[in-house]
A and B are shown apart, each in its own frame.
Chain A
């Protein structure tokens, strides 16, 4: 019962669903994605500040891995200085998603939704190009390929869930 909408006013006007659980839940989804985007911003700032390096940022039980040695865009892996430069648009996307979702902006929703759809596309393309060897002509060793499949099998449903939830709550952002 505690989640039922309550009235703002008893002045005789029609009862207003003051605290809409729908809006709250949209905020929860945005909060999850905003936090992830924030972590991505921290990671990519570390990348830009550490050209030619890789490392970890540890915070309690949570660590963030970063590397400026390779960067994947649309499944294609950049290396070297190109990889370092390719971190900049990633950083901008994460930053835009963070600001846009935190501010409930329409463009923030579009950026986040497009990026969440792009991620599995890039992951699957990468999987075929490199671990399965369609681009490099040399597939990865079996244990690496298996771990890549496991990663995809876990991450793909989560990414589709995120896209579905953003779509479900789109009315809060795209009005």
Chain B
């Protein structure tokens, strides 16, 4: 990829090709682009989250699905999980609002490459597996309700965690790797 940036770097930066500075700049541009790729993917997810939660708050029915081409978003304000605890009813509606604000802030903060945007995103991506694991223990395993879910549901929940946890950790690792782009 560095070669890609090397090919036309003179259009972007004006400096001598002699010395190590040229190479450093190409590497810096490559890192900026890669950081942008990570931010873009996370931003899209956050924007979809904003749309989902806007519908959850504004739609009178309170739950439903949005179909857009091959993408489909499920939304509900009838229940909402925070830190693994499931809120229902009016509490769930109120608990949707901070979710909405966090998604919007993440999208804005990453697009504008703010330090606080990076911190917020990292914190939220770290929080997600914590919440998922806590939820799995409290509800599907029944430690809070004393009524475990059916085995097939518990297995599906663990499957979800086993697949999503590496993706969440990968996102954390990528955000950490490109932290210098935001911490300046």
Contact = CB atoms under 8 A, between A and B. Distances in A.
A and B pair up: yes
Interface of A: 2-3, 6, 8-9, 11, 13-14, 16-36, 39-40, 43, 56, 58-66, 101-106, 151, 154-155, 171-172, 175
A32 B184 contact: no
Nearest to B29: A23
A171 B11 contact: yes
Interface string B83-101: 0000000000000000000
A62 B181 CA distance: 29
B77 interface: no
A151 B75 CA distance: 19
B4 A13 contact: no
Contact of B40 (A2, A35, A172): A35
Interface of B: 1, 4-5, 7-9, 11-16, 19, 21, 24-25, 28-45, 48-49, 52, 65, 67-75, 110-115, 164, 181, 184
Contacts of B70: 39-40, 43, 64-66
Interface centre among A24, A36, A103 (most CB of B within 10 A): A24
A24 B28 contact: no
A23 B72 contact: no
A64 B21 CA distance: 45
Given A18-B28, A104-B1, A104-B5, A25 B69 contact: no
Nearest to A8: B24
- Nearest first, the 8 closest Cβ-Cβ pairs linking A and B are A27-B36, A31-B40, A175-B8, A28-B40, A63-B72, A31-B37, A27-B33, A35-B41
Contact of B74 (A19, A63, A102, A104): A63
Contacts, number: 161
Contacts of B45: 35, 62
B73 A61 contact: yes
Given A24-B35, A27-B34, A56 B72 contact: yes
A101 B41 CA distance: 12
A19 B179 CA distance: 13
Contacts of A23: 12, 29, 32-33, 36
B8 to A, nearest CB: 2
Given A20-B13, A24-B113, A65-B72, 8 more contacts: A17-B13, A24-B181, A61-B49, A61-B73, A62-B73, A172-B12, A175-B8, A175-B11
Contacts of B19: 13
20 contacts: A16-B21, A16-B24, A18-B25, A19-B181, A20-B13, A27-B36, A28-B43, A30-B36, A31-B40, A31-B42, A31-B43, A32-B40, A33-B40, A59-B164, A61-B73, A61-B74, A65-B67, A104-B1, A172-B12, A175-B9
Contacts of A29: 36, 40
B146 to A, nearest CB: 27
Nearest to B51: A61
Contacts of B41: 31-32, 34-35
Contacts of A16: 13, 15, 21, 24-25, 28
Contacts of B36: 23-31
